[in-house]
Amino acid sequence: MALARLNLTVRLRTMNRMTSPALLRAWLPVWLVASLAGLGLGDAARAQARPERVAMVIGNESYARLPLKNPVNDARAVAQALRAVGFTVMLRENAGYGAMVDSMREFLDRSSEAEVRLVYFAGHGAQFDGKNYLIPVDATLQHDKELTTKAANATELAAKLAQNKTGVNIMILDACREAPFPLVSTRNPLRARAMTPGLAGANAPQGTLIAFSTGPGGIAMDGPAGSNSAYTRHLVTHLAEPGLAVEQLFKRIRIGVARDTQQKQIPWETSSLMGDFCFRPAADGSCPSPAVSAQPPNDIGALASRRF
């Protein structure tokens, strides 16, 4: 009994010594340093895991009315080219309305802190009331105004991307192929009317470049089955050229498409980018500026430091 009391007394004294103020003062700085280091490692890991370049690529061709031949091939080719230059790619094929809307929401969330955000769409597109819409494969439309509830609003997507205060936004629309998307007649479903052809002209929001495979109101060529459209073929050919500024990239695409289509299809872009961007920088890490006629005002130069 006396021996048990002695052992208990020894253990209590040992515990008191381990929790003494002096010992706590000695261990507290070590614990704080370890904890802060752990937090720093966690932040670094999260920063490293966050993709710097994010793309959403959609190819729609299996339309019940007026199916297309190559948008899925085009989307796969673009996704491969983007992955080769460091993009994390969300690839969607033959997406219905629900899938397109969900994908856009996911893309906006995943790309909110990215340095580069890119959207590519191949398929049918249309315009209504000055806005551009990307048509899902399950769309059945009786009137242009139904685009607002049955198609993805590309104009609204560009505006939401522009709400990000840093980074560059690029939207590439290889849409409006072959012929205007047909409307179903309510009186005779076999008699179809067509929507207003092509996409509407657009002003790119700040920090954004929007590239169209053809001019406003124009129709883009789909190309032979099993290949790529003329526009996408030139896009993937030039995209990874080192040191090629994005403005020069789309100029080369325009020249190539115009030549291949005998001037029937002339791509164009609208841009409010305020700095230089290359999909693949030059060997020295630079992205040479395209030739400009004058220096930007000082306030624009200040904004360029916050955007590409």
pLDDT in tens, the chain (308 residues): 444 444 544 444 444 444 444 544 444 444 443 443 444 444 444 445 557 999 999 999 999 888 999 999 999 999 999 999 999 999 999 999 999 999 999 999 999 999 999 999 999 999 999 999 999 999 998 888 999 999 999 999 999 999 998 999 999 999 988 766 777 654 554 445 567 788 998 889 999 999 999 999 888 888 888 899 999 999 999 999 999 999 999 999 999 999 999 999 999 999 999 989 999 999 998 998 775 433 334 443 333 333 33
User: What integer pLDDT is reported at residue 31 of this predicted model?
Assistant: 42
Q: Which backbone phi and psi does 101 adopt, to 5 degrees?
A: -65, -45
User: What integer pLDDT is reported at residue 183 of this predicted model?
Assistant: 74
Structural domain contains residue 27: no
Number of domains in the chain: 1
HEC readout, 19-59: CCHHHHHHHHHHHHHHHHHHHHHHHHHHHHHCCCEEEEEEE
d(CA 62, CA 60): 6
Structural domain contains residue 211: yes
Amino acid letter at 75? A
d(CA 95, CA 93): 5
d(CA 206, CA 169): 9
Count of alpha carbons within 13 angstroms of residue 67, beta-carbon side: 8
Residues 6+ apart with CB under 8 A from 115: 52, 53, 166, 167, 168, 308
Number of CB atoms found within 10 A of residue 277's CB: 19
Structural domain contains residue 292: yes
d(CA 21, CA 148): 69
d(CA 155, CA 204): 9
Cα angle for residues 135, 253, 217 (degrees, 5° grid): 40
Return the SS3 of 240.
coil
Cα angle for residues 205, 211, 215 (degrees, 5° grid): 110
Structural domain contains residue 150: yes
Domain ranges, residue 87: 49-304
The CATH number of the domain holding residue 278 is 3.40.50.1460
pTM for the full predicted model: 0.77
Strands 116-123 and 168-175: parallel
Structural domain contains residue 6: no
Structural domain contains residue 115: yes
